[in-house]
Amino acid sequence: MHGMINKSIEDLVTINFGADKWEAIKAKAGIKVEAFVSNESYPDEMTYGLVGAATEVLGLSVSQVLFAFGEFWVLHTANKGYGDLLKSAGRTMPEFLDYLPLFHTRVALIFPNLKPPRFECSDRHPDRITMHYFSPRPGLSAVVSGMLSGVAKLYETPAEITQTQFKDKGADHDEFLVCWGDSIKK
């Protein structure tokens, strides 16, 4: 994966848990790279290795680490580094979600050799939408939940994100229901 992803995991750990924990995670994952270069591609195994080591060093589950990373990616890494790109994709959260299927096409103009995920929307309503996520990379659905949650926070729109289909339980792909407004009022 792109160096920016690994660098973002480093920032997440360093800011929230300290530099010592990051060094412990890198050592446990057997990673000798001193600093990740944003525009360089690294083997996916390195990213999975970092996540696995983070669960052990921080005492968190895989989904907790992936969800935290997804939120951090949107609210910290993408928002600080690519805020204009991010916000130009929609004036509101529903607009952004509608645009998400096209979003990485624009990201690909900045990042060479991108192997982006694919998103599709269905069942659009004024207060909910279904998001379909496709990727050849396994096990990353909790990242998507975290990213969708980050997008909701970015737009200051209270939302509920529920995964409704699971690829790792045999479904064709992962599916998420995103609800806001009247659909979450009790």
Minimum gap (Å) between residue 12 Cβ and ligand HEM = 15
Measured from the CB of residue 32, what is the shortest distance to ligand HEM in angstroms? 20
Q: Which of 115, 132, 153, 173 forms a contact with ligand HEM (CB under 6 A)?
A: 115
77: DSSP letter: I
> Which residues make Cβ contacts (< 8 Å) with residue 104, sequence separation at least 6?
114, 116, 117
- Least CB distance from residue 68 to ligand HEM, whole Å? 14
DSSP annotation of 74? I
- Span interacting with ligand HEM, options 19-27, 59-67, 78-86, 166-174, rule CB under 6 A: 78-86
Torsion of CA 102, 104, 107, 109, to 10 degrees: -70
User: Which of 170, 119, 180, 181 shows the shortest CA–CA distance to 144?
Assistant: 119
Write out the H or E segment, with its range, that includes residue 180.
strand 174-180
Token representation of residue 23 = 């060094």
25: contact with ligand HEM by CB under 6 A: no
46 sits near ligand HEM (criterion: CB under 6 A): no
- Give the three-class secondary structure for 81: helix
Rule CB under 6 A: is residue 1 a binding residue for ligand HEM?
A: yes
| Residues of the shown chain interacting with ligand HEM in the complex, contacts defined by CB under 6 A | 1-2, 4-5, 74, 78, 82, 85-86, 100, 104, 107, 111, 114-117, 135, 137, 140, 143-144, 147-148, 151
